[in-house]
Amino acid sequence: MRPSALDPLFAPSTTLSGVGPKLAKALDKLLGDETHAARVIDLLFHLPTGAIDRRPSESIIEAPIGEIATFSARVTEHRPAPPTKAKAPYRILVEDETGDVTLVFFHADVRHLLQTLPIGAYRIISGKLELWDGMRQMVHPDRILDPKLAATMPSVEPVYGLTEGVGGRIMARIAAGAAERCPELPEWQDGAFLARNDFASFRGAIDALHHPADIKAATGETVARRRIAYDELLASQIALALVRRQQKKAAGRATGGDGALRRAIETALPFTLTDGQRKAIADIHDDMEKPERMLRLLQGDVGSGKTVVALMAMAAAAEANRQSVLMAPTEILARQHAERLAPLADKAGLKLALLTGREKGAGRRQVLEGLANGEIDIAVGTHALFQEGVAFHDLALAVVDEQHRFGVHQRLLLGAKGEAVDILVMTATPIPRTLSLTWFGDMDISVLAEKPAGRKPIATKAISSERLDEVVGAVGRAINAGAQVYWVCPLVQESDTLDVAAAQQRFEALQEEFGDKVGLLHGQMPGRDKDAAMAAFVAGQTRLLVSTTVIEVGVDVPNASVMVIEHAERFGLAQLHQLRGRIGRGSAASTCLLLYKGPLGPVAEARLTIMRETEDGFRIAEEDLRLRGEGEVLGTKQSGSPDWRIARPEIDGDLLAAARDDARLQIERDPHLETERGQAVRTLLYLFERDVAIRLLRAG
Ligand code: ADP
Ligand code: MG
């Protein structure tokens, strides 16, 4: 059982002061997942990604241009927009003895401005200072403070990853609140190691991370971050050690069939398999036939045809009268897989069922029954497949789609579902070798190097968003010619309210143009509506699908041959590549239009150039690595990976090595974690949610 000291951390975010239901919902989107809402601990581990320096300048003339500047000044003049130019901004002049600054407000709330910046008043003002026609100006200051309240503004302000509905200041406040909830915990690290590295306690390190003393402390490689990273690595290494011990006990089972179902499926396919697919299918089958457990990674660029390989593997399991699951990262993808695979499975006489968090009531019970009594051969679903209450008659194989971050933790959960389950992980993200060793050190790899024949290259163009009208015109012509179009809008962030094209708005605008040929799909829609929108597009009822990045992963509509990506400059390379991979799947020539809003920074410019030059996923991944640094490639900087919230194994290599040794020693000396330090290690395992490892410990 989880030590009760950790209970406050695993409480929902609503237990934090100032977090009501609405805010909690927004936090869930950022930090929660299918199985749980955002909790205090998710906020605790939601570390700043940087910091803003708000130390005040002595005077206006000394305030830095082009950066965040903070200064105090007197309000001298209000300049409303002239009545003839309703869209012009509202301007307010402030000055000190050394110079003046024009504050600029678009869509101004004049009454509010008169209140916060009355003429004659002194104010502390902080925001991005720019030169405009030789004059200093600041568009929408971040902070406007009465000098009496100066102390309420920290001079170094941590910056957090945000989401719709949670602004920077709110996030900083709740993250700090979460850090405060952290109790002093028993020490699990080796004393000498702690001293040598100058590590504070877990609580001390968390506190330091959320209250950076200077800019470097928020962004740099600090002792505090290393401490937490080490903790995380130690937790996973100890969990791994426990798993290995368990795995040695439970060897795999040989699953071999006569090939009849596979032949039936192959005959039913509307295409012939590529050599790469054949080879991968054979590799997988060889693995499954062996009495050891399979742990194989199937790597193939977007569109290379991984799904059918998965189906053949699952058919092989069924030939041995055993079950398999196919797990997808999103609800939409799970449904698509189920719809695609069902007719093929049917032809081979296999029973396939869908299980996600949304299957409820009688339908759900029926599926659970079918899984438990072995009637269902193949279950397709999301994380819900792992949940408690889902039991299998005889699970042989788990295929995990598009989740290269499927880590040790999830493997553990799976292990608990069947003895010696064979695992196939499929990913389109090429994984650099250094990383694959730390993440998948124990995995074998199959690669689909070629794409199915007959694919035409995608023409990719970068176009300034000022030419939106032309783009809409071209899209209209494409639709009239029978094409289907994806129109992708980026996430709406509270911080740039002024110029982001929200999917909703774009949808309405395009609907005016194209009527009911336009569909809308975004993450916040109720599940049923999402299904309906997707189904209408698949069926060709809607010809243009406006969506957020929810279509990024795996969605397959071969007739879609045009993609417009708005604000392409805001996306990373890997994401652009994934998105673009949704087209170019059919026999028609495809076009991808990257709409950008200039001026482009050098990195954004480089990204768009690479996208125009190549469709080669490996090259794109390499360039991505070069432009971003390794840490971000696998999304390890976001909380997206349940395996690594903080640690970056590729960067913290020395820590990883130390944690590995530490873990081995710990398990050797104290195999059941019963000593005082062993008990502390248990707390650590719960803290990083390696609970299943502890369960294994009990079982063994
Ligand atoms: P991914 O590897 O990105 O998951 P999919 O499995 O979704 O790719 O396959 C992409 C498309 O290619 C699908 O429409 C699928 O039916 C088709 N496909 C798969 N294999 C072949 C093949 N050997 N020949 C022609 N089309 C294929
Ligand atoms: Mg796929």
Ligand with the closest atom to the CA of 557: 1
Average pLDDT of span 479-489: 94
Of 688, 638, 634, nearest in space to 659 by CA: 688
Residue 556 has pLDDT above 60, yes or no: yes
Q: Exposed (0-12), middle (13-18) or buried (19+): which is 267, by Cβ within 10 Å? A: exposed
| CA of 341, nearest ligand number | 1
From 425, 407, 421, select the one nearest 310 (Cα to Cα). Answer: 425
Q: How far is the CA of 554 from the centre of ligand 1 (A)?
A: 11
Residues 405-414 have a mean pLDDT of 63
Residue with the nearest Cα to atom 26 of ligand 1? 452
DSSP result, 323-387: EEEEE-SSHHHHHHHHHHHHHHHHHTT--EEEE-TT--HHHHHHHHHHHHHT--SEEEESGGGGS
Spatial separation of the C-alpha atoms in residues 647 and 655, rounded to whole Å: 9
Angle (nearest 5°) at CA 286 between 280 and 291:
140
CA–CA separation, 693 vs 698, rounded Å? 9
Atom of ligand 1 nearest to the CA of 274: 23
How far is the C-alpha of 321 from the C-alpha of 260, rounded, in Å?
12
Instruction: Report the range of poorest mean pLDDT among 317-321, 410-414, 519-523, 621-625.
Output: 410-414
User: 297, 304, 307: which to mutate for ligand 1, most atoms within 8 A of CB?
Assistant: 307
Distance between CA atoms of residues 153 and 71, nearest Å: 13
Which tens digit of pLDDT belongs to each residue from 147-167? 998 888 888 888 887 777 788
Candidate from 281-295, 423-437, 486-500 with smallest mean pLDDT = 486-500
Q: Calculate the alpha carbon distances from 159 to 41, 49, 173, 462 in Å.
A: 18, 6, 11, 31
Q: State residue 502's pLDDT score.
A: 65
pLDDT tens digit string along 249-306?
A: 656 678 888 999 999 999 999 999 999 999 999 999 999 998 888 888 898 888 889 9
Mean pLDDT within 46-51: 86
Q: SS3 of 73, please?
A: strand
H/E stretch holding 156? strand 156-159
649 or 571, which is more confident = 571
Kindly tell me the number of DSSP H helices and DSSP E strands found in the chain. Answer: 25, 22
- Tell whether the model's pLDDT for residue 693 goes beyond 70: yes
pLDDT for 34 equals: 61
Compute the average pLDDT of residues 202-208.
95
- Average pLDDT (466-470) is 94
- Tokens representing 1 are 């059982």
Please give the number of the atom of ligand 1 that sits closest to the Cα of 558: 14
Q: 551 CA to middle of ligand 2, Å?
A: 12
Distance 300 CA to ligand 2 centre (A): 9
Q: What is residue 574's predicted lDDT score, i.e. its pLDDT?
A: 77
What average pLDDT does the segment 475-502 reach? Answer: 72
CA 402 to ligand 2 centroid distance, Å: 7
Residue 634: predicted pLDDT: 37
* Nearest residue by C-alpha to atom 15 in ligand 1: 305
How many angstroms is it from 304 CA to the middle of ligand 1? 6
- Show Cβ contacts of residue 30 under 8 Å, excluding neighbours closer than 6 positions: 38, 46, 161, 162, 163, 166
Instruction: Kindly report the average pLDDT of the chain as a whole number.
Output: 86
Which residue shows structure tokens 């403070």?
145
Cα–Cα distances in angstroms (integers) from residue 51 to residues 212, 457, 495, 650, in the given order? 8, 43, 15, 24
Q: Quote the ligand 2 centre to 535 CA distance (angstroms).
A: 18
Is pLDDT of 595 > 90?
yes
Which residue among 330, 400, 551, 556 has the greatest number of ligand 1 atoms within 8 angstroms of its CB, and so is best to mutate? 556
Question: What is the Å distance from ligand 2's center to 320 Cα?
Answer: 25
Q: Which amino acid is at 378?
A: I
- Partners of 590 in the beta sheet? 458
Structure confidence at residue 367 as a pLDDT band (50, 70, 90): very high
What ligand 1 atom has the least distance to the C-alpha of 269? Answer: 16
State in Å: Cα 267 to ligand 1 middle.
16
Question: Contact at 8 Å (CB) between 41 and 10?
Answer: yes
- Residue 586: the pLDDT is 81
Nearest ligand for residue 301 CA: 1
Q: Could you give the CA distance from residue 568 to residue 108 in angstroms, rounded to a whole number? A: 29
Query: Given ligand 1 and candidates 279, 302, 308, 336, which is best to mutate, with the most ligand atoms within 8 Å of its CB?
Result: 308
Ligand 1, atom 18: nearest CA belongs to which residue?
305
Which ligand minimizes its atom distance to the CA of 401? Answer: 2
Q: What is the pLDDT of residue 503?
A: 79
Q: What atom in ligand 1 is closest to the CA of residue 340? A: 16
Question: 353 versus 85: which is more confidently predicted?
Answer: 353
Residue 696 has pLDDT above 80, yes or no: no
Q: Who surrounds ion ligand 2 at CB < 5 A?
A: 554
User: Residue 272 has what pLDDT?
Assistant: 94
Indicate whether 495 pLDDT > 70: no
The predicted-structure confidence for 92-139, as pLDDT tens digits, reads as follows: 999 999 999 999 998 888 999 999 999 999 999 999 999 988 999 999
Strands 395-401 and 518-521, sheet pairing: unpaired
Candidates 304, 399, 458: which one to mutate for ligand 1, based on the most atoms within 8 Å of Cβ? 304
CB 17 within 8 Å of CB 695:
no
Contact 262, 319 (CB under 8 A): yes
pLDDT value, residue 462:
95
Q: Counting atoms of ligand 1 from 1, which one is nearest the CA of 402?
A: 4
Residue nearest to atom 19 of ligand 1 (CA): 305
Contact by Cβ (8 Å): 68, 142? yes
Residue 581 CA: nearest ligand 1 atom is 3
Q: 31 alpha carbon to ligand 1 midpoint, in Å?
A: 33
Residue 427 Cα to ligand 2 midpoint, Å, equals: 8
The two three-digit tokens of residue 374, written as one number: 């072995």
- H/E element holding 545? strand 544-547
CA distances for 531 relative to 25, 51, 331, 332, 547, angstroms: 22, 40, 9, 7, 13
Q: What average pLDDT does range 302-315 have in this prediction?
A: 94
**Confidence bin at 410 (pLDDT 50/70/90):** low
Closest-CA residue to 311 (of 276, 270, 348, 361): 348
pTM check: above 0.85: no
Spatial separation of the C-alpha atoms in residues 291 and 272, rounded to whole Å = 31
Ligand number with the minimum distance to the CA of 556: 1
Query: Ligand 1: which of 269, 271, 590 to mutate, most ligand atoms within 8 Å of CB?
Result: 271
> Which protein residue has the closest C-alpha to ligand 1 atom 4?
306
Q: What angle do CA 73, 79, 84 make, to 5 degrees?
A: 160
Kindly tell me if the per-residue pLDDT of 349 is higher than 80: yes
Class of residue 385 by CB neighbours under 10 A (exposed 0-12, middle 13-18, buried 19+):
buried
User: Quick check: 330 pLDDT over 50?
Assistant: yes
Instruction: List residues near ligand 1 (CB under 6 A).
Output: 271, 273-274, 277, 300, 302-308, 428, 452, 554, 556, 558, 585
The ligand with the least distance to the CA atom of 330 is: 2
Q: In this model, does residue 459 exceed pLDDT 70?
A: yes
Element (H, E) at 577: helix 573-580
**How far apart are the C-alpha atoms of 406 and 399, rounded to whole Å?**
11
CB neighbourhood size of 314 (10 A)? 31
**Cα-to-centroid distance, 553 and ligand 2 (Å):** 7
CA 350, CA 346: separation in Å to the nearest integer?
A: 5
By CB atoms closer than 10 A (0-12, 13-18, 19+), residue 441 is exposed
Collapsing DSSP to helix, strand or coil, 203 comes out as helix
What are 75-84's pLDDT values in tens digits? Answer: 999 999 888 8
Ligand at shortest distance from the CA of 303: 1
Of the two residues 524 and 195, the one the predictor is more confident about is 195
Q: Whose CA is nearest to atom 16 of ligand 1?
A: 305
In tens, the pLDDT along 618-642 reads: 778 777 766 654 433 333 333 334 4
**What average pLDDT score do residues 409-430 get?**
74
Confidence of residue 190 (pLDDT cuts 50, 70, 90): very high
pLDDT at residue 442 greater than cutoff 80:
no
Cis peptide before 186 (omega within 30 of 0): no
Nearest ligand to residue 554 Cα = 2
CA pseudo-torsion sign 365, 368, 370, 372 = negative
